[in-house]
Amino acid sequence: MCSRSLSIYINLAFIACCVVADCGPRLKYTWGDALQGTDCPGPDGAAYPRHLVNRALKSGPWQSSRQGRGVRTVDPAIMRRALLDAHAGYSESARVHSGGNRTGRATNLPGLSPAPTNSCGGTRLCRTRYNTTAPMYGVSLTSGQPVTIVQKFPDLLQQVVFEVCESSECSMVRGTCSQTYVPYLFLVLPLGPVTLTGQDYVLVESGCVCRPDPVS
Protein backbone atom coordinates (compact mmCIF):
# COMPACT_ATOMS: atom_id res chain seq x y z
CA MET A 1 0.00 0.00 0.00
CA CYS A 2 2.78 2.39 0.97
CA SER A 3 4.79 1.60 -2.16
CA ARG A 4 1.71 2.14 -4.32
CA SER A 5 1.04 5.55 -2.75
CA LEU A 6 4.69 6.48 -3.16
CA SER A 7 4.62 5.60 -6.86
CA ILE A 8 1.52 7.76 -7.34
CA TYR A 9 3.16 10.79 -5.74
CA ILE A 10 6.36 10.27 -7.73
CA ASN A 11 4.33 10.08 -10.94
CA LEU A 12 2.40 13.23 -10.06
CA ALA A 13 5.60 15.07 -9.21
CA PHE A 14 7.16 14.07 -12.53
CA ILE A 15 4.14 15.26 -14.50
CA ALA A 16 4.01 18.51 -12.53
CA CYS A 17 7.65 19.20 -13.41
CA CYS A 18 6.99 18.58 -17.10
CA VAL A 19 3.90 20.77 -17.42
CA VAL A 20 4.67 23.60 -15.01
CA ALA A 21 5.80 25.94 -17.77
CA ASP A 22 2.51 25.65 -19.70
CA CYS A 23 0.01 24.69 -17.02
CA GLY A 24 0.35 27.19 -14.21
CA PRO A 25 1.89 27.02 -10.74
CA ARG A 26 3.53 23.89 -9.44
CA LEU A 27 1.88 22.95 -6.17
CA LYS A 28 2.30 19.80 -4.12
CA TYR A 29 -1.17 18.31 -4.49
CA THR A 30 -2.57 20.13 -7.53
CA TRP A 31 -1.40 21.04 -11.02
CA GLY A 32 -2.74 22.67 -14.12
CA ASP A 33 -4.53 26.02 -14.26
CA ALA A 34 -7.66 26.45 -16.37
CA LEU A 35 -6.95 30.19 -16.49
CA GLN A 36 -3.63 29.64 -18.23
CA GLY A 37 -4.35 26.71 -20.53
CA THR A 38 -6.49 23.64 -21.06
CA ASP A 39 -3.93 21.25 -22.52
CA CYS A 40 -2.34 20.03 -19.31
CA PRO A 41 -1.99 16.22 -19.24
CA GLY A 42 -3.50 14.23 -16.41
CA PRO A 43 -1.81 11.68 -14.14
CA ASP A 44 -1.86 9.10 -16.96
CA GLY A 45 -0.62 11.56 -19.55
CA ALA A 46 -4.05 11.88 -21.19
CA ALA A 47 -5.60 15.18 -22.20
CA TYR A 48 -8.05 16.97 -19.92
CA PRO A 49 -11.40 15.08 -20.27
CA ARG A 50 -13.58 17.96 -21.48
CA HIS A 51 -16.30 15.59 -22.71
CA LEU A 52 -16.64 14.05 -19.24
CA VAL A 53 -16.73 17.49 -17.65
CA ASN A 54 -19.44 18.65 -20.05
CA ARG A 55 -21.45 15.50 -19.38
CA ALA A 56 -21.08 15.89 -15.62
CA LEU A 57 -22.20 19.51 -15.76
CA LYS A 58 -25.37 18.40 -17.54
CA SER A 59 -26.22 15.36 -15.44
CA GLY A 60 -23.98 15.41 -12.35
CA PRO A 61 -25.32 15.20 -8.78
CA TRP A 62 -24.87 18.96 -8.30
CA GLN A 63 -26.84 19.84 -11.44
CA SER A 64 -30.25 19.99 -9.71
CA SER A 65 -29.07 22.82 -7.47
CA ARG A 66 -27.82 24.79 -10.51
CA GLN A 67 -30.92 24.50 -12.68
CA GLY A 68 -33.45 27.28 -12.83
CA ARG A 69 -31.35 29.88 -11.08
CA GLY A 70 -30.38 31.89 -14.14
CA VAL A 71 -27.33 33.20 -12.33
CA ARG A 72 -25.06 35.28 -14.52
CA THR A 73 -21.49 33.99 -14.78
CA VAL A 74 -18.94 36.23 -13.08
CA ASP A 75 -16.02 37.23 -15.26
CA PRO A 76 -13.03 35.06 -14.19
CA ALA A 77 -10.72 38.09 -14.11
CA ILE A 78 -13.11 39.94 -11.77
CA MET A 79 -13.37 36.88 -9.52
CA ARG A 80 -9.57 36.54 -9.49
CA ARG A 81 -9.13 40.16 -8.44
CA ALA A 82 -11.78 39.78 -5.72
CA LEU A 83 -10.05 36.69 -4.33
CA LEU A 84 -6.65 38.39 -4.27
CA ASP A 85 -8.07 41.56 -2.70
CA ALA A 86 -9.84 39.50 -0.04
CA HIS A 87 -6.66 37.56 0.70
CA ALA A 88 -4.61 40.76 0.91
CA GLY A 89 -7.21 42.31 3.22
CA TYR A 90 -7.26 39.26 5.47
CA SER A 91 -3.47 39.24 5.70
CA GLU A 92 -3.44 42.97 6.44
CA SER A 93 -6.01 42.57 9.20
CA ALA A 94 -4.16 39.63 10.74
CA ARG A 95 -0.92 41.59 10.87
CA VAL A 96 -2.54 44.66 12.38
CA HIS A 97 -4.13 42.59 15.13
CA SER A 98 -0.82 40.84 15.81
CA GLY A 99 1.01 44.14 16.10
CA GLY A 100 3.13 43.63 13.00
CA ASN A 101 3.66 45.85 9.99
CA ARG A 102 2.95 44.67 6.49
CA THR A 103 5.94 45.48 4.31
CA GLY A 104 4.58 44.18 1.02
CA ARG A 105 1.40 43.09 -0.71
CA ALA A 106 0.27 41.39 -3.89
CA THR A 107 1.14 43.20 -7.10
CA ASN A 108 0.24 42.61 -10.74
CA LEU A 109 -3.33 41.64 -9.85
CA PRO A 110 -4.54 41.64 -13.48
CA GLY A 111 -1.64 39.39 -14.53
CA LEU A 112 -1.03 35.70 -13.91
CA SER A 113 2.46 35.83 -12.44
CA PRO A 114 2.88 35.07 -8.71
CA ALA A 115 2.69 38.10 -6.47
CA PRO A 116 5.47 38.37 -3.88
CA THR A 117 5.01 39.56 -0.35
CA ASN A 118 7.64 40.51 2.20
CA SER A 119 6.66 38.97 5.51
CA CYS A 120 9.13 40.41 7.97
CA GLY A 121 7.13 41.70 10.88
CA GLY A 122 4.86 40.50 13.67
CA THR A 123 4.04 36.80 13.49
CA ARG A 124 4.83 36.64 9.77
CA LEU A 125 8.46 35.66 9.92
CA CYS A 126 8.62 33.77 6.63
CA ARG A 127 8.64 35.27 3.15
CA THR A 128 5.74 34.04 0.99
CA ARG A 129 4.10 34.63 -2.36
CA TYR A 130 0.45 34.14 -3.23
CA ASN A 131 -1.78 34.07 -6.27
CA THR A 132 -4.90 32.37 -7.59
CA THR A 133 -5.23 29.15 -9.54
CA ALA A 134 -8.04 27.11 -11.06
CA PRO A 135 -6.47 23.65 -10.66
CA MET A 136 -7.33 20.98 -13.20
CA TYR A 137 -6.03 17.95 -11.32
CA GLY A 138 -5.37 17.09 -7.71
CA VAL A 139 -4.80 14.35 -5.16
CA SER A 140 -7.87 13.43 -3.13
CA LEU A 141 -7.42 13.96 0.59
CA THR A 142 -9.95 11.21 1.34
CA SER A 143 -8.65 8.48 -0.97
CA GLY A 144 -5.11 9.58 -1.86
CA GLN A 145 -5.92 8.96 -5.52
CA PRO A 146 -5.66 11.42 -8.44
CA VAL A 147 -8.87 13.23 -9.35
CA THR A 148 -9.88 15.55 -12.17
CA ILE A 149 -11.15 18.90 -10.88
CA VAL A 150 -14.13 20.15 -12.86
CA GLN A 151 -13.19 23.34 -14.73
CA LYS A 152 -15.05 24.81 -17.69
CA PHE A 153 -14.04 28.25 -18.88
CA PRO A 154 -15.83 30.57 -18.25
CA ASP A 155 -19.01 28.80 -17.07
CA LEU A 156 -17.60 27.05 -14.01
CA LEU A 157 -14.15 27.97 -12.72
CA GLN A 158 -13.21 26.79 -9.24
CA GLN A 159 -10.59 29.39 -8.37
CA VAL A 160 -8.70 29.33 -5.09
CA VAL A 161 -5.90 31.36 -3.51
CA PHE A 162 -2.63 29.61 -2.73
CA GLU A 163 0.24 30.95 -0.62
CA VAL A 164 3.63 29.25 -0.64
CA CYS A 165 6.88 29.61 1.28
CA GLU A 166 9.68 31.48 -0.45
CA SER A 167 12.18 31.05 2.37
CA SER A 168 13.33 28.03 4.35
CA GLU A 169 14.59 30.00 7.36
CA CYS A 170 12.73 32.52 9.52
CA SER A 171 13.68 36.15 9.64
CA MET A 172 14.43 37.94 12.93
CA VAL A 173 14.46 34.66 14.89
CA ARG A 174 16.31 31.39 14.36
CA GLY A 175 13.95 28.77 13.04
CA THR A 176 12.55 26.92 10.04
CA CYS A 177 9.74 27.97 7.74
CA SER A 178 7.12 25.26 7.24
CA GLN A 179 4.42 25.15 4.56
CA THR A 180 0.80 24.97 5.72
CA TYR A 181 -2.20 23.59 3.82
CA VAL A 182 -5.98 24.00 3.78
CA PRO A 183 -8.43 21.40 2.41
CA TYR A 184 -10.61 22.85 -0.35
CA LEU A 185 -13.83 21.16 -1.42
CA PHE A 186 -13.92 20.83 -5.22
CA LEU A 187 -16.33 19.34 -7.74
CA VAL A 188 -14.33 16.41 -9.09
CA LEU A 189 -14.35 13.35 -11.34
CA PRO A 190 -14.62 10.40 -11.00
CA LEU A 191 -17.65 10.15 -8.75
CA GLY A 192 -16.37 7.39 -6.50
CA PRO A 193 -17.73 6.08 -3.19
CA VAL A 194 -16.14 8.95 -1.27
CA THR A 195 -17.51 11.56 -3.67
CA LEU A 196 -21.20 10.69 -3.90
CA THR A 197 -22.06 14.40 -4.11
CA GLY A 198 -19.45 14.98 -6.79
CA GLN A 199 -17.20 16.76 -4.30
CA ASP A 200 -13.89 15.87 -2.70
CA TYR A 201 -11.21 17.56 -0.61
CA VAL A 202 -7.82 18.51 -2.05
CA LEU A 203 -5.07 20.21 -0.07
CA VAL A 204 -3.91 23.64 -1.25
CA GLU A 205 -0.95 25.64 0.08
CA SER A 206 -2.26 28.26 2.52
CA GLY A 207 0.75 29.98 4.06
CA CYS A 208 4.03 29.59 5.88
CA VAL A 209 4.72 29.38 9.61
CA CYS A 210 7.97 29.83 11.50
CA ARG A 211 8.99 27.02 13.83
CA PRO A 212 11.61 28.51 16.18
CA ASP A 213 14.72 26.50 16.97
CA PRO A 214 14.20 25.17 20.54
CA VAL A 215 17.94 25.54 21.22
CA SER A 216 17.77 29.29 20.61
DSSP 136: S
Residue 14 has pLDDT above 90, yes or no: no
Say how many domains are in the chain.
1
pLDDT digits (tens, 9 = 90+) for 62-97: 554 445 455 567 778 888 888 888 888 776 665 554
Q: Of 139, 206, 138, 159, nearest to 34 (Cα)?
A: 159
pTM (2 d.p.)? 0.70
d(CA 178, CA 175) in angstroms, rounded, equals: 10
d(CA 75, CA 64) in angstroms, rounded, equals: 23
- What is the extent of the structural domain holding 71? 2-212
In the predicted model, what is the mean pLDDT of the chain? 74
pLDDT digits (tens, 9 = 90+) for 134-191: 999 999 998 899 999 999 888 889 999 999 999 999 988 889 999 999 999 999 988 6
d(CA 127, CA 118) in angstroms, rounded, equals: 5
- Whichever domain contains 121, its CATH number is 2.10.90.10
